């Protein structure tokens, strides 16, 4: 049965067809930067969908983002159910491929991307993390992992990143984590004037496209 579109932003490539990418937003919410990221994926030939986990709310200050992010995490079972629903919708929307998806998570979204790949190994073929980690049991996962991390990041200490990489490797997953010299948290997001690092962002984008292209053709 076909799924109605959940709250969120859908971007389609010119042909209307392509490999599917689920985008999980950072703690700011589904803002213009996340929508533009989906549109960029669509221009590159992917069907991209970003569920709106805050249902219309968007934060612009760190204090507001912390409040929204904490509320989401306190209600994380609901968030995970909505993400699973978005993944089903996108799988169906992408049509008669094998139904497998890539998932890209930013910061807060990275935790949920990791969780989804372990919870739904049948459908998640690749995971891209932007400056976010998570703990958990990744042995059920069948995905390949790409991570983009900032060299100087008080939100995501190097020990967390190294622990995650080790856990994924022990689970037998292919993992490539990059550390961006001179970059900080949110370095990919052009609306974060203090944090945005155009050269690191450009490199991370190229690496992400290459990785998505490889995993789509496997």
pLDDT band at 218 (very low <50, low <70, confident <90, very high): very low
Q: Assess contact for 157 and 150: CB atoms under 8 A.
A: no
Average pLDDT over residues 120-142: 94
Question: Residue 113 has what pLDDT?
Answer: 98
- Segment 156-173, tens digit of pLDDT: 999 999 999 999 999 999
Comparison of pLDDT for 100 and 118, the residue scoring more = 118
pLDDT band at 215 (very low <50, low <70, confident <90, very high): low
Which domains, ranges and CATH numbers included, belong to the chain? 8-217 (3.40.50.1820)
Average pLDDT over residues 12-33: 95
- Segment 172-204, tens digit of pLDDT: 999 999 999 999 999 999 999 989 999 999 999
pLDDT band at 24 (very low <50, low <70, confident <90, very high): very high
* CA-to-CA separations, 140 to 49, 79, 113, in angstroms, rounded: 24, 20, 14
* CA-to-CA separations, 6 to 26, 110, 183, 206, in angstroms, rounded: 18, 20, 34, 29
Interatomic CA distance for residues 23 and 60, integer angstroms: 19
- Segment 45-69, tens digit of pLDDT: 999 999 999 999 999 999 999 999 9
């Amino acid at each position: 049965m076909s799924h109605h579109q959940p709250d969120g932003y859908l971007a389609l490539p010119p042909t209307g067809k392509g490999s599917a990418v689920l985008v999980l937003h950072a703690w700011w919410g589904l803002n213009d930067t996340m929508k533009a990221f989906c549109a960029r994926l669509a221009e590159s030939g992917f069907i991209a969908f970003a569920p709106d986990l805050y249902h219309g709310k968007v934060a612009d200050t760190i204090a507001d983002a912390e409040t929204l992010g904490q509320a989401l995490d306190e209600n994380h079972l609901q968030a995970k159910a909505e993400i699973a629903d978005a993944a089903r919708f996108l799988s169906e929307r992408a049509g008669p491929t094998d139904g497998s998806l890539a998932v890209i998570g930013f910061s807060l979204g990275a935790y949920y991307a990791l969780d989804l790949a372990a919870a739904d190994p049948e459908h998640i073929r690749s995971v891209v993390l932007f400056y976010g980690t998570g703990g958990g049991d990744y042995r059920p996962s069948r995905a390949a992992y790409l991570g983009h991390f900032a060299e100087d990041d008080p939100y995501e200490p190097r020990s967390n990143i190294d622990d995650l990489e080790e856990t994924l490797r022990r689970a037998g997953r292919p993992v490539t984590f990059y550390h961006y010299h001179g970059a900080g948290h949110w370095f990919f997001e052009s609306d974060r004037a203090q944090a945005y690092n155009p050269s690191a962002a450009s490199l991370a984008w190229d690496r992400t496209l290459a990785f998505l292209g490889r995993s789509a053709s496997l």
